[in-house]
Chain A
Amino acid sequence: MTTAAPVRRVVIVGASAAGLTAAEALRREGFEGAVTLVGEEHHLPYDRPPLSKQILTGAWPVERAALRRPSDLDALGLDLRLGSRAVRLSPASRTVTLADGAELGYDALIVATGVRPRRLAGHTAPGVHVLRTLEDARRMRERLGAGRRLVVIGAGFLGSEVAAAARSLGASVTVVETAPLPLARVVGDRVGAHLAQLHRDHGVDLRTGVRVGEIVAHGGQVGGVTLTDGTVLPADDVLVAIGSEPNTDWLGGSGLDLADGVVCDQHLTAGPGVYAAGDVARWHHPLFGATLRVEHRTNAAEQGIAAARALLAPERARPFAPVPYFWSDQHGVRIQAFGHLRDHDEAQVVEGAPAEGRFLVAYRTGRRLTGALAVAMPPKALHPWRAAIAAETDWRTLPTAPLPA
């Protein structure tokens, strides 16, 4: 049993997938105390994956990205502080200070402040974009269309999805990437080559193994992008999609361990009464024996729930050890993956065939199966692989034939 005082006031900073899911979990578990949910954005909590997909193409009105209905939010009985930025954490007095000077005392705090896009220094001309918020998506959508030229810097999942959405709107799209293949460090060369071909089949001018010199602006408008080999790529719009940085600035001086995210133990504890969840959280994942920070939508929800439970009943907390899951939609093809793929040692096609456009790849790290990725496969094909990853299956015992569903 714990001797800690009962939790009466919970503050959650970050009102998006992880923060909202944590608030809901507190109520589901029967917590009747005060829950203050603080979010810098003015919108009710909304979802980000549609921003680079249905919102960017205009297939959905923006309301469709709402995470919950207003009535469902009301039912949670939260003190919802939108348009409010947390600027300081004082763990000794257990208070969070907001930008307007308000001080929120807490018995337990969940940090769920997510990440922000990395930018190229000095580039603010209209037409230079990043994509993280609803405003970012709206701004891009207004400008993309037939006859417009978009250059995407970075062929990661975000850059690739935006390239695909922009092509479907009739824009001409060039993607520039430093690595020889898109996403190869994560998904391997075979899948990287497939994704590169998919872009080219859909009319994307993909330039790999090149470096961006600078973004050129004329008269306050973006004009194009130069590469270090002297190439000039004219553009009306440029998307900078070169990764992200955890929103931990407000935690400076708090004494929390900040190292590319808020460092937590395997129960998501970052300090006395302080927990972290979502894109901002770095924790030791027992299944992979590694410290991970996962920027996937499902992880944000699972971790929000786990942090809420750990906070309410620390003595019953189990290590947070999910099999990570993500999906990505590019040019009408769905990619889905389970596990930890990055920096794997080996990748093998185990079902289907890349030439047919449908296949499943298994990943080995050390001696074990650590990941599986499917391109355009029936999603159920992945379920047995997920179970095999969770069971820490030895690579040598993998069936060569498809696992039974």
Chain B
Amino acid sequence: MHVEVDQPKCVASGQCVLMAPDVFDQDDDGIVELLTDRPGPGHRDGVREAAAVCPAAAIRLEEE
């Protein structure tokens, strides 16, 4: 799985961090930062959930 984030779209909601704290973080302004763009198997469900609920549609996944 490959993860991409569109930082200018991010609205700093933090939903992704709540769902996959090992993959997403937020900077001081709350903007999403990726801790890894290739999450391990144990984190993938959380990442899928985060991409689905992100209120800015700022997370995109490529399943491979």
CA distance A25 to B49 in the complex (A): 9
Give the chain B neighbours of A305 by CB distance below 8 A.
49, 52-53
Which of B26, B30, B48, B52 is the one whose CB lies under 8 Å from A301?
B52
Cα–Cα distance between A47 and B55 once the two chains are bound (Å): 9
Chain B residues in 8 Å Cβ range of A386: 18
* A139 located at the interface, meaning its Cβ lies under 8 Å from any Cβ of chain B in the complex: no
Q: How many positions in chain A have a CB within 8 Å of any CB in the partner chain? A: 27
| Interchain CA distance A28-B9 in the complex, whole Å | 24
- A302 within 8 Å of B by Cβ? yes
Asked if A336 and B12 make an inter-chain contact with CB atoms under 8 angstroms apart, the answer reads yes
B14 partner residues in chain A, CB cutoff 8 A: 379-380, 382-383
Interface bin, chain B: 20 to 34
**A325 pairs with B52, CB closer than 8 A:** no
Asked whether any CB of chain B lies closer than 8 Å to the CB of A378, the reply is: yes
Q: Is B57 an interface residue (CB 8 A)?
A: yes
Residues 9 to 64 of chain B near chain A (Cβ within 8 Å): 9, 11-15, 17-18, 26, 28-30, 48-49, 52-57, 60
Assess whether A64 is interfacial by the CB under 8 Å rule.
yes
Shortest A30–chain B CB gap in Å is: 12
Partner of B30, one of A69, A302, A378: A378
Cβ A21 vs Cβ B30 within 8 A: no
Which residues of the other chain, B, contact A302 by a CB distance below 8 angstroms?
53
Given known contacts A28-B48, A380-B26, is B57 in contact with A327 (CB within 8 Å)?
no
User: B57 contacts A379, CB within 8 Å?
Assistant: no
* 23 A–B pairs (Cβ distance < 8 Å), ordered by A: A21-B52, A21-B53, A28-B52, A49-B11, A49-B55, A298-B15, A301-B53, A301-B54, A305-B49, A305-B53, A327-B11, A327-B12, A334-B11, A336-B12, A378-B30, A379-B12, A379-B26, A379-B29, A380-B14, A380-B26, A380-B30, A383-B18, A386-B18
